[in-house]
Amino acid sequence: MELERPDRALRELYARWLDRTTKAGFAIAVLAFLIYVSGAVPTLVPLADLPRYWGMPVSRFIAATGSPQGWTWLRLLGYGDALNLGAVALLALVTPTCYARLLLALAAERDWLQAALAAAQLVVLAAAASGLLAGAG
């Protein structure tokens, strides 16, 4: 049994957006990495010092380097290592971006159940990214 045409159109819409946003995110990540390793912008942790920190647990790494925690890295995007983190964060936005586009298409088709499910997925992703639900470990 072949799926109905509207379902196929929605799958293709999602796939197109997934393809484009993934390629854009990858290109941005490569560019950010090249900027970082070129030394074109300063770094929080000098590139030559990184091997000294590789084997450390995260808590010791943060204490030793003064690296930002939580969302405070956003203020540091002028540094090469924070710029790399920003590029990774953009890659993490690929799925929500695709769901948001799909949500618009579902709302335009008045498919309220599927639109509600897509909206719920966006809410869950946003809550997870916010850190509000993280344990006070």
C-alpha span between 34 and 3 (Å, rounded): 44
Cα 69 to Cα 78: distance, rounded to the nearest angstrom: 16
d(CA 55, CA 40): 27
DSSP 70: G
Question: pLDDT tens track of the chain, all 137 residues?
Answer: 455 566 888 999 999 999 999 999 999 999 999 999 999 999 999 888 989 998 999 999 999 998 888 888 899 999 999 999 999 999 999 999 999 999 999 999 999 999 999 999 999 999 988 877 776 44
- The CA distance from 120 to 29, in Å, is 29
Are 78 and 41 in contact, with CB atoms under 8 Å apart? yes
Residue 109 phi, psi dihedral angles, 5° rounding: -85, -5
Predicted pLDDT of residue 71: 83
One-letter amino acid identity for 133?
L
What span, in angstroms and rounded, lies between the C-alpha atoms of 83 and 73?
9
